[in-house]
Structure 1
Amino acid sequence: MLKISRFHAIAGALLAFGLSSMAQATDAPSSGLGQSWPNATDVSANPHWHVYVFEKDGVRYVQVNDTNGGVHAAIATAGGQVLVLPIGADAQSVTTSTSTTTTDTSGDTVYSDGTTTIKAAALSTGTVQMSVTSTGCTDPVECSTRVN
């Protein structure tokens, strides 16, 4: 019979607890979309914006706020597809494209995760043009199982 010392048992339990806590800490929250100051990590690539990422049921939601907490836009992405959500002051000014289409992608990068990039450009009308570019997905099997 295997004998485990009390020290090893406690050390093993603490290690397991620590690893489970780290895994939970890296998971994106599943609620808070649309809030000015959601309980989520700011992942913005630009100090003039706050960007929050949420995940639920295999869909990733990305919300862009200004530095005062005003919600400007949000998108949903899954399986290489991008949808503009009707959230935020500039929701009507969001454009989307894939890497195979040519669009104007001027502006400052506010978010990039390797497959999705969001740029923001202030317009003379006082609104902000958000441009979302996605690398898309060309493999149907991968598209149905991968979240961007």
Structure 2
Amino acid sequence: MFRKSSHCAARTVVVALLVALLSTSVLAYQPPATGLGQSWPNAMDVSVSPHYHVYVFVRDGIRYIQVNDLNGTVRAGVAVADNVILVLPIGVDQQYVSTQHNAGQSDATENAGVTETVYSDGTTHMTATPTSTGALIVSVTTTPSALANPPCTDPFNCAGNVVSGGAGK
């Protein structure tokens, strides 16, 4: 009987350690809330390009995405929430950030190099294009999540022509 209870105690300890380990792993994947604007923030580099570092920070439901070059120079940053993109006043190339709302406003597009994707998470997509002047054009677009904006199946409501059941019907 003594062996059985010690076996249960050992099993309980193993389960408790496993739960603690798994909860620590889950916490490790949470983006930090501080470090925005730093050359080498204490955050995971999520860049899909070997030429840039991209860091994501989250605070109050808003995602802040920062692009650094390989030397750690902050090039640009944006805030994204509910498919709205705000260009942040950080980085040496902040004036060259274009979004789907202000596309075509950059004056550095002439003599632009090869565009490459630097970040993509399923709803936000960022590209970087170096120019001959050394500036970096950063383009940011968002696509609505299918769950947040289900497809419209009623052609009257989709086009804004809502039919009401008034007296003229």
Fold match (TM-score > 0.5): yes
* Larger Rg over CA atoms: 2
Distance 1:85 1:59 in 2: 13
- Residue 83 of structure 1: CA displacement? 0.8
Structure 2 unaligned spans of 5+: 150-169
- Residue 126 of structure 1: CA displacement? 2.2
8 Å CA contact 1:60–1:77 kept in 2: the answer is: yes
Structure that is richer in strand per residue:
1
- Residue 16 of structure 1: CA displacement? 1.3
Instruction: Report the counterpart of residue 31 of structure 1 in structure 2.
Output: 34
Cα RMSD over matched residues? Answer: 2.4
Q: Greater RCO between the two (CA within 8 Å, min separation 6)?
A: 1
Please show how residues 75-90 of structure 1 align to structure 2 within 5 Å. 75-90=78-93
Structure 1 residue 117 and structure 2 residue 120: aligned? no
Runs of 4+ aligned residues of structure 1 deviating over 6 Å after TM superposition are 101-104
**TM-score, with normalisation over the residues of structure 2?**
0.73
**TM-score, with normalisation over the residues of structure 1?**
0.83
Q: Which amino acid aligns with 1:77?
A: V
8 Å CA contact 1:79–1:137 kept in 2: the answer is: no
Q: 2:143 aligns with which of 129, 135, 142?
A: 135
Instruction: Report the counterpart of residue 77 of structure 2 in structure 1.
Output: 74
- Identity, in percent, stands at 49
Residue 27 of structure 1 aligns to a residue in which SS? coil
Instruction: Report the counterpart of residue 146 of structure 1 in structure 2.
Output: none
Residue 18 of structure 2 aligns to a residue in which SS? helix
Q: Which amino acid aligns with 1:5?
A: C
Superposed CA offset, 1:22-73 (max 9, x none): 1111100111000000001111111110000111111111100000000000
Structure 1 unaligned spans of 5+: 144-148
